Structure 1
Amino acid sequence: MPSTPIRLQGRSLVEGAAQGTLLFADVGLSFWGGVDPATGEVIDRHHPLSGESLAGRVLAIPSGRGSCTGSSVLMELISNGHAPAALVLAEADEILVLGVLVAEVIFQRSLPVLCIGREAFEGLRGQGFARIEGSCLTLSGRRPNDQWYAADIPSQPLAPSTVRLNERDQALLDGAYGKAAKVAMGIVLRMAEIQGADELLDITQAHIDGCIYTGPASLRFAEQLVQWGAKVSVPTTLNSISVDQRQWRELGVDPALGEPASALGDAYMAMGAQLSFTCAPYLLDTAPTVGEQIVWAESNAVVYANSVLGARTQKYPDFLDICIALCGRAPLAGCHLDDQRKAGLIVEVPKLDSTDDSFYPLLGYHIGSLTGRRIPLIRGLENAAPHLDDLKAFGAAFATTSAAPLFHIAGVTPEAMDPAHVQDHPAQLPVQTLDGAGLLASWRELNSARHRHVDVVSLGNPHFSLSEFAALARLCAGRIKHPDVVLAITCGRAVLEQARQAGYLEVIQVFGATLVTDTCWCMLGEPVIPPTATTLMTNSGKYAHYAPGLVGRGVHFASLAECVEAACTATASGEPPQWLQPSAAKGNPSHV
């Protein structure tokens, strides 16, 4: 390591001073599902920092990725003393920054966040110690022997806002609409400045992801807004909460989780949000249309809204979503703008032979891992005719491994029916050509189980649609699951009633399935997952990624039909599907 300190200048996203051992990774990290909010341990078992503690260290990552709830997890860590000393990023990340800003407002605690750019970031590899003072980053091989204290560094006052405000915006900021709206507008403006927006826009609806319980801090934030008189100013739906509010006691959930998680949902409804509790708001009657300006959080919902519906939203962090819902105004930046919805990468998918429904989540997971923050234009599926459930599964897995809020599929998604509309300079775009070997490697990454036995079959991540219930009913008809296997499905209340009226639930319940509403598999644990269970099976690329860290079980990832078969036999094949067998993956680009 060098003996002479290295000094770099960056862009301070959150002012401050801190120092600590440098913890470096060249892969983005989703704080939700990737970091334990109570301890600061990295629990994403696919991440190079798995098992490391973030507490008190200077964390250097390219950016966040995955869930919008990362802001809530970071706020929890700041409030309970297990946060990193500072964050150093290659690219600005609104989700992580927002967690720090809310911690400042609610807990008067903060940490510096510095963006240094991609080229400088690569130079952090192998460094041992880091010190941040405002926009300056100093690197050294070991802790210096000087008597340095962060408290000795004067804080920098916030510069006056450069965002243009209309008369109502100014009234909100001045407190004319109450304290909650005043605080919310202040946070919206700070994020607008970070995003480079010089004005705000009206939005027609919001979807709130901050109703997921990550710990005491998330509940304190919501209840503080209620005490300050918060009321949403646009139609607002709620994401899945952390428990089935109607039957968490019957499911055996510990009251230490059930009570605050249910109270968190109640707090957001007290602000005027609708009782929807679904991670798939695009399945509701209120789903937006092409070109509609909205504010949605929940990563899979954001990607679906932008890509499949053609609506316009950023990948909004938890807490910024409710702040915008209170104001009805959002920064005019990112995917709200035409030029920010263009492709930054072309992905070529090889010609397909016969596949099953595990193809699209696997493809989304694999492409997401290649894109980073770039929006991909995917070519090669023009004649594949993916249906909406395929695109839902693709988008959820894509949002797990990518930081991008949008994808285009040539000839399929609305803005890419003519691919020229999403390409400014197609000859200059990098091209990534997929092959079977790469997809097979991603399949193996998702299949973490060490033996073929199956204890639990997990369906509904994202929440099941009516057409998925129809497909499951056909597969379950005339069959009974194995008595030692739990098959559980999560869905929204509205879709559950539709499935009941269509006659699908009777068949599925005779089969032996458990139906859970309001919450999702990313929040479920014991005892819905029996304590003795060691292995799960799912058709969700998203859950196959997160489950090893969230619930400590190995996972089999497969098609819906294979999941039903495993529920009957308590056994998984453990083999890739026929269309992905190694013989087809060895250098033959015409087969996937």
Structure 2
Amino acid sequence: MPSTPVRVKVRSLVEGAAQGALLFADVGLSFWGGVDPASGEVIDRHHPLSGERLAGRVLAIPSGRGSCTGSSVLMELISNDHAPAALVLAEADEILTLGVLVAQVIFQRSLPVVCVGHEAFNRLRGQGFVRVEGNRLTLSGRRPQDHWRAMDVPWQSPAPVSLDLTEQDRALLDGAHGKAAQVAMQIVLRMAEIQGATRLLDVTQAHIDGCIYTGPASLRFAEQLVQWGARVRVPTTLNSISVDQRRWRELGVDPALGEPASALGDAYMAMGAQLSFTCAPYLLDTAPKAGEQIVWAESNAVVYANSVLGARTQKYPDFLDICIALCGRAPSSGCHLDDQRLAGLLVDVPQPAHMDDSFYPLLGYHIGALAGRRIPLIRGLEHAMPNLDDLKAFGAAFATTSAAPLFHIAGVTPEALDPNDVLAPGAPLPLETVDTAGLLASWRELNSARDTRVDVVSLGNPHFSLSEFAALASLCAGRIKHPDVVLAITCGRAVLEQARDAGHLAVIEAFGAVLVTDTCWCMVGEPLIPAHATTLMTNSGKYAHYAPGLVGRGVHFAGLAQCVEAACAASAPGQPPAWLHPIVRTESPTDV
């Protein structure tokens, strides 16, 4: 540790002054699913900070990653005094920054957020004490013996002098359309400033992730907007909420969760949002078309919209999504722009022989960790013909370990049918190669169960599609699950009715499955997961990652057919799939 203080110049994303013991990690952290909003404990059991408490410490991480709901969790922590004293980032992170800005507006409380760049960030490793003041960061071995005091900076409406605003933008900003729209526009402009945008653009639709209940602060934010007269200006759908709104009492959910979680969904519908309650809005009839400018939150939905549909959205944080929906305007930056959708990383993938459907979520999870914030171009799957369910599973797992809002698969996804279209001319890119050892390591990360027992089989994260219901019905036909195993499926209401009309539900319910709408596995707990249950099984790479921290159970990860077999046998092999030993390259990656 330095004997004399070392000062580092930083970029201030949220002003303020704070100090504390340094808590450092060189791995990004998803606050949602990775930090307990009620205690500030890091609950991501795959993260190097697992078990640490954030309160009062200066947290240094490269950036956030994973869920868009991280902003809501951070606002919750600020409101209940379990937040870090300050955030020090290698790269600007909009999700975490937005959580602090909304806490300023709603609670008049804040914490400083600074960006130091990768070189300075790497020098923080092993340091002891950090003080943040404005655009300066000071490192020392221990707390200085002086009379220095921490300070919050109150919310200040941004001066829009650097932005090219329309007459309608200025009317919203001046309060001509009510206080909710005015505050929303202020927040949009503040984020535009952080992103370096010089103008705003029109969006055609929104998908709101902020309807997930993270605690009292998330409900207070939505109800405050309703009291201010909030009304969305574009067609708006809602993500999964934290309970099945029609059946939470029947399912045994504690009213302490059921009532506020249901009220939160009602608050967003009071603003004019549609009752959709799905984390897979791309399965709705309202799914956007290629090139359409939209504002979607929910990490898997963002990645699917950009990558598979070719629509255009940032990875919008909770709360910024509704602010943009109230204005109908978004910063013209990031994946809204052509040049920001180009690949920043090449990934060569060997195509395994005789693979099953566990290949794509495992691959997405692995490549997401390799990519970080970079948009990858994945080569080697040109003839694999992944279907939409494969891409959905890949994207959800990719969004769990990556902060990137987009991936390209050469010859598969719409913008990379000719992979040269997503490469900047004359700009060589770093190359990563996926191999058996790396995929096996990722498989072991996802398989945290200590024995072969299976108590619960979890399906529908993201929400089940109609084709997944068809596949499950085929696997379940003429069979009955083990009486000691819970098999539950989460899905949206619209897809549930489609599956019922197609005759799939009769077979699946005869098998013994439980069907849950409106919510998804990332919010499900007891009693749907029985108190005595110790082990889950899932075909979702996303849920296999989050479940140990969210519900404290070990996980088996496998394909859909293996999940049905486990539901019948109440046990799982606990071994990697046969196709993973070894992966054989069927042909060389395409040269681009």
- Structure 1 and Structure 2 fold alike (TM over 0.5): yes
- Which residue matches 2:480? 480
**Equivalent AA in structure 1 for residue 489 of structure 2:** I
- Which residue matches 2:529? 529
**What is the CA–CA distance in structure 1 between the aligned matches of 2:107 and 2:157, rounded to whole Å?**
18
Per-residue displacement from partner, 1:230-255 (whole Å, max 9, x unpaired)?
00000000000000000000000000
Give the 3-state SS of the residue equivalent to 1:362 in structure 2. helix
Give the 3-state SS of the residue equivalent to 2:240 in structure 1. coil
- Which residue matches 1:198? 198
* Paired residues of 2:104 and 2:154 also in contact (CA < 8 A): no
**What is the CA–CA distance in structure 2 between the aligned matches of 1:541 and 1:156, rounded to whole Å?**
39
Per-residue displacement from partner, 1:358-381 (whole Å, max 9, x unpaired)?
000000000000111000000000
Residue 4 of structure 1, CA deviation: 1.2
Give the 3-state SS of the residue equivalent to 2:19 in structure 1. strand
**What is the CA–CA distance in structure 1 between the aligned matches of 2:587 and 2:47, rounded to whole Å?**
29
- Which residue matches 1:461? 461
**Equivalent AA in structure 1 for residue 568 of structure 2:** C
Per-residue displacement from partner, 1:176-225 (whole Å, max 9, x unpaired)?
00000000000000000000001000000000000000000000000000
* Paired residues of 1:15 and 1:156 also in contact (CA < 8 A): no
**Equivalent AA in structure 2 for residue 193 of structure 1:** E
Q: Mapping of 1:33-44 within 5 angstroms?
A: 33-44=33-44
Q: Mapping of 1:399-414 within 5 angstroms?
A: 399-414=399-414
**What is the CA–CA distance in structure 1 between the aligned matches of 2:493 and 2:513, rounded to whole Å?**
16
Give the 3-state SS of the residue equivalent to 2:347 in structure 1. strand
**Equivalent AA in structure 1 for residue 498 of structure 2:** Q
Structure 1 runs of 4+ aligned residues shifted over 3 Å read: 153-159, 588-592
Q: Mapping of 1:98-113 within 5 angstroms?
A: 98-113=98-113
**What is the CA–CA distance in structure 1 between the aligned matches of 2:157 and 2:104, rounded to whole Å?**
13
**What is the CA–CA distance in structure 2 between the aligned matches of 1:188 and 1:16, rounded to whole Å?**
21
Residue 159 of structure 1, CA deviation: 6.3
2:179 aligned with 1:179: yes
**What is the CA–CA distance in structure 1 between the aligned matches of 2:427 and 2:574, rounded to whole Å?**
42
**What is the CA–CA distance in structure 2 between the aligned matches of 1:154 and 1:299, rounded to whole Å?**
30
- Which residue matches 2:356? 356
**What is the CA–CA distance in structure 2 between the aligned matches of 1:507 and 1:160, rounded to whole Å?**
60
Residue 352 of structure 1, CA deviation: 2.4
Residue 145 of structure 1, CA deviation: 1.0
**What is the CA–CA distance in structure 1 between the aligned matches of 2:428 and 2:475, rounded to whole Å?**
47
- Which residue matches 1:72? 72
1:157 and 1:173, CA in 2 relative to 1: closer, same or farther beyond 3 A? closer
**Equivalent AA in structure 1 for residue 22 of structure 2:** L
Calculate the TM-score normalised by the size of structure 2.
0.98
**Equivalent AA in structure 2 for residue 324 of structure 1:** I
- Which residue matches 1:225? 225
Residue 428 of structure 1, CA deviation: 1.0
- Which residue matches 1:160? 159
2:118 aligned with 1:118: yes
Residue 118 of structure 1, CA deviation: 0.8
RMSD after superposition: 1.4
1:117 and 1:218, CA in 2 relative to 1: closer, same or farther beyond 3 A? same
**Equivalent AA in structure 2 for residue 274 of structure 1:** Q
**Equivalent AA in structure 2 for residue 434 of structure 1:** V
Per-residue displacement from partner, 1:380-439 (whole Å, max 9, x unpaired)?
000000000000000000000000000000000000001111000465100101101100
Per-residue displacement from partner, 1:544-564 (whole Å, max 9, x unpaired)?
000000000000000000000
**What is the CA–CA distance in structure 1 between the aligned matches of 2:352 and 2:443, rounded to whole Å?**
17
- Which residue matches 1:368? 368
- Structure 1 unaligned runs (5+)? none
Give the 3-state SS of the residue equivalent to 2:325 in structure 1. helix
Give the 3-state SS of the residue equivalent to 1:262 in structure 2. helix
* Paired residues of 2:351 and 2:384 also in contact (CA < 8 A): no
* Paired residues of 1:352 and 1:591 also in contact (CA < 8 A): no
- Which residue matches 1:270? 270
Residue 160 of structure 1, CA deviation: 2.7
- Which residue matches 1:343? 343
Percent of matched pairs sharing the same residue: 82
**Equivalent AA in structure 2 for residue 160 of structure 1:** A
Residue 154 of structure 1, CA deviation: 8.2
* Paired residues of 2:108 and 2:154 also in contact (CA < 8 A): no
2:569 aligned with 1:569: yes
1:154 and 1:480, CA in 2 relative to 1: closer, same or farther beyond 3 A? closer
**Equivalent AA in structure 2 for residue 266 of structure 1:** D
Q: Mapping of 1:159-558 within 5 angstroms?
A: 160-161=159-160, 162-425=162-425, 428-558=428-558
- Structure 2 unaligned runs (5+)? none
**What is the CA–CA distance in structure 2 between the aligned matches of 1:505 and 1:524, rounded to whole Å?**
21
Residue 351 of structure 1, CA deviation: 3.4
Per-residue displacement from partner, 1:21-66 (whole Å, max 9, x unpaired)?
0000000000000000000000000000000000000000000000
Per-residue displacement from partner, 1:244-272 (whole Å, max 9, x unpaired)?
00000000000000000000000000000
Give the 3-state SS of the residue equivalent to 1:428 in structure 2. coil
Per-residue displacement from partner, 1:118-158 (whole Å, max 9, x unpaired)?
1110000000000000010000111111111124x988977
**What is the CA–CA distance in structure 1 between the aligned matches of 2:287 and 2:555, rounded to whole Å?**
32
**What is the CA–CA distance in structure 1 between the aligned matches of 2:274 and 2:507, rounded to whole Å?**
30
**Equivalent AA in structure 1 for residue 484 of structure 2:** D
Give the 3-state SS of the residue equivalent to 2:317 in structure 1. coil
- Which residue matches 1:8? 8
**Equivalent AA in structure 2 for residue 317 of structure 1:** P
- Which residue matches 1:150? 150
**What is the CA–CA distance in structure 1 between the aligned matches of 2:18 and 2:33, rounded to whole Å?**
26
Give the 3-state SS of the residue equivalent to 2:286 in structure 1. coil
Per-residue displacement from partner, 1:432-485 (whole Å, max 9, x unpaired)?
011011000000000000000000000000000000000000000000000000
**What is the CA–CA distance in structure 2 between the aligned matches of 1:156 and 1:276, rounded to whole Å?**
33
Provide the aligned length of Structure 1 versus Structure 2: 587
1:97 and 1:154, CA in 2 relative to 1: closer, same or farther beyond 3 A? closer
1:527 and 1:147, CA in 2 relative to 1: closer, same or farther beyond 3 A? same
**Equivalent AA in structure 2 for residue 400 of structure 1:** T
**Equivalent AA in structure 1 for residue 204 of structure 2:** T
**What is the CA–CA distance in structure 2 between the aligned matches of 1:277 and 1:344, rounded to whole Å?**
34
Residue 10 of structure 1, CA deviation: 1.0
* Paired residues of 2:522 and 2:550 also in contact (CA < 8 A): yes
**What is the CA–CA distance in structure 2 between the aligned matches of 1:213 and 1:154, rounded to whole Å?**
27
Calculate the TM-score normalised by the size of structure 1.
0.98
1:591 and 1:543, CA in 2 relative to 1: closer, same or farther beyond 3 A? farther
* Paired residues of 2:335 and 2:341 also in contact (CA < 8 A): yes
* Paired residues of 1:288 and 1:309 also in contact (CA < 8 A): yes
**What is the CA–CA distance in structure 1 between the aligned matches of 2:94 and 2:386, rounded to whole Å?**
32
1:33 and 1:259, CA in 2 relative to 1: closer, same or farther beyond 3 A? same
